[in-house]
A = this chain, B = another copy of it.
Amino acid sequence: MMTMGRLVNRLAAVLCMLIASSAACSPVRAEDGYDLWLRYAPLEGEALQRLQSFNPLVRSDVQSAQGSPMLSVATSELRVGLAKLTGGGPPTGNESRGLVTLRCGQSTAGDGRFTVTGSPREITISGPGETSCLYGAFALLRELSLGRDPAMIALSERPAMPLRMLNHWDNPDGHVERGYAGRSIFDWWRLPDRLDPRLIDYARANASLGINGAVVNNVNASPLYLTPRYLPKLKRIADAWRPYGIRLYIAARFSAPRDVGGLNTADPLDPAVRGWWKAKADAIYAAIPDFGGFLVKASSEGQPGPQDYGRSHADGANMLGAALGARGTVIWRAFVYQPENRADRTKQAFDEFKPLDGDFADNVIVQVKNGPLDFQPREPFHPLFGAVPKTRLMLELQVTREYLGQASGIVYLGPMWEEVLRADTGHGGSIAQMVAPAGMAGVANTGSDRNWTGGHFDQANWYAFGRMAWDPSLSAKAIAQEWTALTFSRNLAVIARIVPDMLASREAVVDYTGPLGLAHQMATGHHYGPGPWVCDLPRADWNPCYYASADKQGIGYDRTGKGSNALAQYAPNVAARWADPAQMDERYLLWFHHLPWTYPMRSGRSLWHELVAGYDRGVARVDTIAANWAALAPYIDAERHTDVAAGLSSQRREARQWRDASLAYWQSRNGLALPFGTRAPDHPLEWYRLETTPEAPGR
């Protein structure tokens, strides 16, 4: 009977190659993106034949495999994945001609290092712990999905950094701060009774990348997560994620002892406060033995923190660290941004944290955004990297596109992160090297939308974040190729069309929102459209006009010694690199220098003409990306093709609006004409000022 099952599948597969009209040969439902990069689309041609003739049986060497949820996840993923790749059912013992053997230590600790070794009759996945087999299984499936010959597979990998985390800015009511993909995937209302199956597929996707931690709630944290009512909810998720190697963390509200603990202070040096946190941690660990720890945004943007009591960040972080002990980690954010007026907001984190170097407890990590401002399309790297050698630093990236067009069109962030990770800090290493002892966090872009991320191409950012956290030496290009093959098509011609546009897409959004080092030019509140004219917000450094400092004579923020001297926060060789506008990388020009509109650029153009050329280049690039995508219609399933095309149509309009609104505003400042032959803005400046988008996510 079993062999008949195989026979049906084989017959169907062979006949399907001959005929196209049968419903049995094509999926009835269009692809909606839910399967992410774990589609395991059936192989074709030679790759299919190779895998079919290998036809492996999956087995585990470990006696206790039956009792190991993690090994059972690994074997089940392999069985399902192999069956889908061959377009058939799993093989039976009699028919199998090959083996996939899991040979891993039984420890649930270990960093997940693995080897995968192919041979004509057997592929072996091995490593010191169960996570080795988990990650090895997903790595093998990726290789096979990419069409590699099973016999030739030889992988030997280990993660570059211990913590590879997603930070969810999700609130108890389901709203996601800076979320553009629907509601939160965490339904706190129905938990713990109902565990959304989506949370299992989320864990699979993360495990496939080696992501091993997730903070389930917003850093602007509700204290609810620290109440007893939430513990069963958190436990239900942690239990579900454990077999996927994902530890659950929560963002902790620093004032929780006052908010929900019945105390009248949250002073980190107060014994009652310290006791409250210790008891809270004990209660959490009683329910969730592998609880990861706390992420904390404190004394920043109005959030409570140790400074409310005249204490330092180290006082606050170390108090929480003592409550967790060796069981967990405190991740303390360096994104501090206090309401007192400062000369230059980008200097504040360095000023506050540099003096604390060496003061943080062993289980405290300081989490630093890639740049010193706030997730702009391009910023120079954050000066703290390399500057606090006695502090473990973690890199915080934003996977969700708060300032980069949200979920419209295509903006692949791989090139930005490659730029960041490879940046030379001037302190004896790259940023990737500086954060290797701690890790990387990405602000997640997931939501309840069926495709998880709002736009199909935003899945690539989740994917790239995970891959780079595992191995920062991977190039944005290699990751894009891999992702495209797994997600859309193995057709090399299709990959060759898509990948260059992905790689160019980040520079496009830099160009059409603010070229030459401009930043923070977005509209208020939702951070979606252009607002360079905004100049009336109560605090100076909330205003785009403050950052561009555009007037009749020139534009740019002077961060040299004549200005805010933020440059001095960098290592001397780095500061020197950026000190001279004539010698420096012009992509950072107006971040560091205020220059006349007539300033001569290396292209020979004036700064003004170069700026216009930048906006125009960004708009033209998006037009090209959209045209290239349209031409791919025959090669992509209709549902996803249509959806991406709609997103690109939005992005084209947005790019044009950013460019036109910005140019109209700069002209209102400098009174200069546009270069000859340049298209005038579609509308007068006033029209752009009056544009409102009340339903924009983030309002």
Interface residues of A (CB under 8 A from B): 1-2, 4-9, 11-12, 15-16, 18-19, 21-25, 28, 30, 32, 80, 83-84, 88-90, 92, 172-174, 182-183, 188-190, 193-195, 197, 222, 224, 407, 448-450, 639, 643, 646-647, 649-650, 653, 693-697, 699
Contact = CB atoms under 8 A, between A and B. Distances in A.
Contact of A8 (B7, B22, B182, B190): B22
27 contacts: A1-B19, A2-B21, A4-B15, A8-B12, A9-B24, A11-B12, A12-B12, A23-B83, A24-B24, A24-B88, A24-B89, A28-B80, A28-B84, A172-B695, A173-B694, A174-B182, A174-B695, A182-B182, A183-B183, A183-B448, A189-B693, A189-B695, A189-B696, A190-B407, A190-B646, A224-B695, A448-B449
Given A4-B19, A173-B695, A450-B450, A646 B193 contact: yes
Contact of A89 (B23, B90, B194, B653): B23
Contacts of A89: 21-24
Nearest to A16: B8
B8 A15 contact: yes
Nearest to A10: B24
A250 to B, nearest CB: 15
Given A195-B646, A650-B190, A173 B12 contact: no
A11 B12 CA distance: 9
A650 B236 CA distance: 15
B9 A11 contact: no
B695 A194 contact: no
A89 B24 CA distance: 7
Which A-B residue pairs are the 5 nearest by beta carbons? Answer: A5-B22, A23-B89, A194-B646, A172-B695, A193-B650
Contacts of A4: 15, 18-19
A84 B6 CA distance: 23
Contacts of A639: 197
B188 A695 contact: yes
A187 to B, nearest CB: 9
Contacts of A699: 173
B647 A194 contact: yes
A82 to B, nearest CB: 11
B448 A650 contact: no
A15 B23 contact: no
Q: Which of A8, A9, A693 has the largest count of B CB atoms less than 10 A from its CB? A: A8
Contact of A189 (B9, B22, B697): B697
A603 to B, nearest CB: 35
A127 B589 CA distance: 72
A646 B18 CA distance: 46
Nearest to A30: B197
Nearest to A197: B639
Contact of A19 (B5, B24, B222): B5
Contacts of A11: 8, 11-12
A231 to B, nearest CB: 15
B5 A21 contact: yes
A635 to B, nearest CB: 20
Contacts of A30: 197
Contacts of A24: 5, 8-9, 12, 24, 88-89
B23 A90 contact: yes
Nearest to A23: B89
Contacts of A22: 5-6, 8-9, 88-89
